Amino acid sequence: MKEKFIKALESNNLGEMRKIPKGDLHNHSSIGGNKRYIEEWAGVSIPKPPNFKGLDDMQQWYRQNIKLLIKGTLGYEKLIEAAFVQAKMDGVKVLNMSFGIGEVVWYDNSVDNMVQALKRIHQSFAPEVLFIPEIALSSFTPIDEINKKLNQFLGQNYFKSIDMYGDEFAVPTFKKIFRKAKEKGLILKAHVGEFGTAELIREAVEELELDQVQHGIAAANSQSVMRWLCDNKIQLNVCPTSNILLSRVESYKVHPIRKLYDNGIKVTINTDDMLIFDQSVSQEFFNLYNAGLFNGNELNEIRENSLNLIRENR
């Protein structure tokens, strides 16, 4: 497979690249789907996103350009469908995709009904994709509400990982919640080092006992944090285009994933919010290769990281 992967890169052949097995371990489901699939369904064209000043700016753009098109449970399910369709089309064999606990509102607050729907959509649109369902917690949701809903989500024994996102400084308030998820055997992840510092990444990994970090690119600013992440085998699930469009990184050419890789950190390449950023895992490999950031061998090693990970954690 390595030879085929490198050949696809060298010949800039997207069709061949799509046939190579890949993982997507950082995907926000309802905004992680194929843009054209949603455009066709909604009968509109979604504009190309600008460079955002930050998350608020992106969310505002999303509300104005995409959210308006999506209505009710059927709309929500179409978004999830678009994410499975996208993964299948792109040769994603391992899809670790997250679902906000608030999304249960589309199922009259029945987590059971939500899980049944996810199973049905997975089986209908991408049964061959190994799907690792993930619980997503926002730091802006009151802790009491999280605790109440989380018990219902964990009680399903369906979700295999958990992720938190929002304010990177809110990490300590999630300590108990993450211990509970750990007892249940979930893979622990959090969004840190996207906007915050290298030190915050280390603190989050220690406090929450994380297995993986979503983004974590700020680690590249600290030799000691990189060393620590490497020694503790913490994987960073990086999303290059997301970092560029959210103005965290200037270009693919100077993306810190190179430095993280050179410092022995296990990294993977992922999509984050494909409905907005519109770059698949395959395209991200081309983005980094064509910018001269990695050679084919290195990118293949990174590709295999996404596939190995699941074997280790199952």
Cβ atoms of residues 192 and 200 within 8 Å: yes
Looking at beta carbons only, is 81 or 272 nearer to Zn ion? Answer: 272
- Match 């994987």 to its residue by tokens: 235
Q: How far is the CB of 19 from Zn ion (least distance, A)?
A: 27
Q: Which two tokens stand for residue 104?
A: 């249960």
Looking at beta carbons only, is 300 or 306 nearer to Zn ion? Answer: 306
Q: How far is the CB of 165 from Zn ion (least distance, A)?
A: 6
Cβ atoms of residues 13 and 287 within 8 Å: no
Shortest CA distance to 26 belongs to which of 169, 161, 214, 203?
A: 214
Shortest CA distance to 113 belongs to which of 75, 86, 153?
A: 153
Looking at beta carbons only, is 24 or 272 nearer to Zn ion? Answer: 272
Looking at beta carbons only, is 190 or 299 nearer to Zn ion? Answer: 190
Q: How far is the CB of 177 from Zn ion (least distance, A)?
A: 18
Q: Is 145 exposed, middle or buried (0-12, 13-18, 19+ CB in 10 A)?
A: exposed
Identify any residues that bridge with 254 across adjacent strands, giving them in sequence order. none
Cβ atoms of residues 130 and 93 within 8 Å: yes
Looking at beta carbons only, is 90 or 272 nearer to Zn ion? Answer: 272
Looking at beta carbons only, is 168 or 272 nearer to Zn ion? Answer: 272
Angle of CA points 97, 126, 64, to nearest 5°: 55
Binding-site ranges for Zn ion (CB under 5 A): 272
CA distance 90 to 211: 26
Q: How far is the CB of 234 from Zn ion (least distance, A)?
A: 17
3-state secondary structure of 221: helix
Q: How far is the CB of 188 from Zn ion (least distance, A)?
A: 15
- Name the closest residue to Zn ion (Cβ): 272
Looking at beta carbons only, is 134 or 272 nearer to Zn ion? Answer: 272
DSSP 83-123: HHHHHHHTTEEEEEEEEEGGGGGGGTT-HHHHHHHHHHHHH
Shortest CA distance to 146 belongs to which of 126, 109, 107, 174?
A: 174
Q: How far is the CB of 297 from Zn ion (least distance, A)?
A: 28
Q: How far is the CB of 217 from Zn ion (least distance, A)?
A: 12
CA distance 156 to 168: 28
Q: How far is the CB of 16 from Zn ion (least distance, A)?
A: 28
Looking at beta carbons only, is 164 or 220 nearer to Zn ion? Answer: 164
